[in-house]
Chain A
Amino acid sequence: MKNMTNLALGIVTSIGGFLDVGAIATAALAGAAFGMQMLWVLAIGTLCVMLLTEMAGRLACVSHHSLVDAVRERCGFRYFSLLLIGELFVDLLVLAAEIGGVAVALHLVTGIDYRWFVPIVAFALWVLIWLGTFSIVQNGASLLGLITVAFVVGMWWMGPPWHEAIRAFVPSAPSHDSAKYWFIAVGIIGSLFEPFMLNFYASGAIEEKWSLKDITMNRVTAVLGMGFGAIIAVSIVILSALTLGPHGIQVDSYEQAALMMVQPFGRWGIPLFAASLGIACFGASLQVALNLSYLFSQGFGWNWSENLKPHEDARFALVYTLAIPVGALLVVVLGDPLQITTFSMALNALLAPVIVFPLLILMNDRHYVREYRNHAIGNVLVSAIVVIAFLIAMVAIPLEVLGG
């Protein structure tokens, strides 16, 4: 019974924790600009993230190593330094995007400039991590994140053309604006397998003392949790395609994205969008800030656990204490949270190979995972998707930035 409860909690928190600012923004952009045409990108990205999440969890269950810890040990300090620099840069941008998302959500319901909320959000984030334990941080925020199911209800309410939606899962090229199409595609993939998620998931498994007996639970959580979570992202694409695109509204700001909820929910639409965005982003910003602490602490061999008191792992606490104000500062300095989001999601796709390929090496190394090694199909699928996303990002990011 206890196992079933844990499993249910794992799935529910995965659903609630699936969405963040990147998934909401890129899905809304895709639906408004290209209708339902990009659903296939979501499907491929979700398949990849299911496989990767399962692998990260299996590594923790069998070897009791987190991902960063194992990469540092298997690939050496030089490689770890590359990973550290890349992830530090991208995670700080993602943290800025998430803090910006919470601030924008508060702006949507109050009308007050989002920048006023940035320090308040940052402080609340820091207090919760400082005082909370891992289960409070992870399960609390993710359970609240179930409010994002409102997107599914909204989509259902709008009565989408199911036949056309299913056909959109077949890959297709755009009929116009190719650079934008591929940039959004890279953003969607980047928002699904954010590198921070993999190490956070593996670190969480160690925090919660997973072992060999949890391998099945890990598999079910990864597949069902991510699968149901992806349904919410699919709903946002469809909702945006049904409500924004036909009016000629493109998503250049969160204010425009929020309008997707007005048709199905009337006066509750904007508050529901704001609550979904705010809670999803707050939960994700907790994870990103904690992941930065995990990254440094595991890489340098410091004491680490969100379940310890801050004075017991002072350097772990110091990292998030520094990272949160830097993230908050970036929101204010860089401005436009939506642009920070789309750009940081595309950078995620660029960074993905740096963390995914060492993970694949580890998952085929008997020393770490014994007889629980990867099947060839998993290796090939994940490698192919990550390489293709990387190559598209290499082309699409300069094209979008320089305006081709």
Chain B
Amino acid sequence: MRVLYASVIVALAAASASCSKSPEKVTTEARQAAASWAATLSAGAEWWGSGKVSTPYFRSIVTQARTSLQKEEKSARNSAGEAAAAPIRAVASHAETIAGAVGRGDRAAAIVAAHAAASEVPADKTPAVAKPQ
């Protein structure tokens, strides 16, 4: 029985070790998440500007984006250093600007800042018809 328990623990440890993320992987994932949030802010700001989404809703998107971007920036910095975190920090900074614009009700400024955020880390756009393997 002890041998069985020991084998299970060794197998779990090996699985955990083999599944742990490399710094490049962490940075890529953080960058992808930041790009997705930048795209969300860009689309959201456009629609807020044209009155298609309400102010409380857009504010909650901006709040979510700020929280997620801070988390992604931290994880990129911890795994691959300042250089990897810089573009994500730039998006986070634009998100702060957008939050200020939402507070003032300045839709034009929010759109400008959101487009700037989207240009910092261009998103990988998924075509509706993705190519299978």
Contact = CB atoms under 8 A, between A and B. Distances in A.
User: Do A and B come together as binding partners?
Assistant: yes
Interface of A: 32-37, 107-112, 160-161, 164, 168, 172-175, 238, 241-242, 245-250, 252-253, 255-256, 258-259, 262, 266-267, 269-270, 398-399, 402-404
Closest 4 CB pairs of A and B: A248-B123, A111-B56, A172-B132, A245-B126
A161 B130 CA distance: 12
Contacts, number: 128
Contacts of A255: 40, 57, 60-61, 64
Interface of B: 15-16, 18-21, 25, 32-33, 35-37, 39-40, 42-44, 47, 51-57, 59-61, 64, 68, 122-133
Nearest to B25: A403
* Chain B interface main SS type: helix
Contact of A173 (B21, B32, B43, B132): B132
B128 A35 contact: yes
A248 B47 contact: no
A247 B40 CA distance: 8
11 contacts: A36-B129, A36-B130, A108-B60, A111-B56, A111-B59, A168-B129, A172-B132, A175-B130, A247-B42, A252-B33, A270-B57
B128 A249 contact: no
Interface centre among B122, B127, B129 (most CB of A within 10 A): B129
Given A108-B60, A111-B60, A267-B52, A259 B43 contact: yes
Nearest to B133: A173
B19 A399 contact: yes
A255 B77 CA distance: 26
A168 B127 CA distance: 13
Contacts of A399: 19
Nearest to B61: A255
B133 A175 contact: yes
A196 B59 CA distance: 37
B130 A107 contact: no
Nearest to B18: A404
B39 A403 contact: no
B72 to A, nearest CB: 10
B39 A248 contact: yes
Nearest to B132: A172
A245 B123 CA distance: 10
Contacts of B52: 262, 266-267, 269
Nearest to A238: B128
A248 B39 CA distance: 6
A273 to B, nearest CB: 10
Given A249-B40, A402-B15, A34 B126 contact: yes
A357 to B, nearest CB: 24
Given A34-B126, A35-B126, A249-B36, A267 B53 contact: yes
Contacts of A267: 51-54
A267 B53 CA distance: 6
B106 to A, nearest CB: 18
- Listed residue (A172, A247, A248) with the most chain B CB atoms within 10 angstroms of its CB: A248
A173 B132 CA distance: 6
B128 A36 contact: yes
B92 to A, nearest CB: 15
Contacts of A164: 128-129
Contacts of B55: 111
Contacts of B131: 175
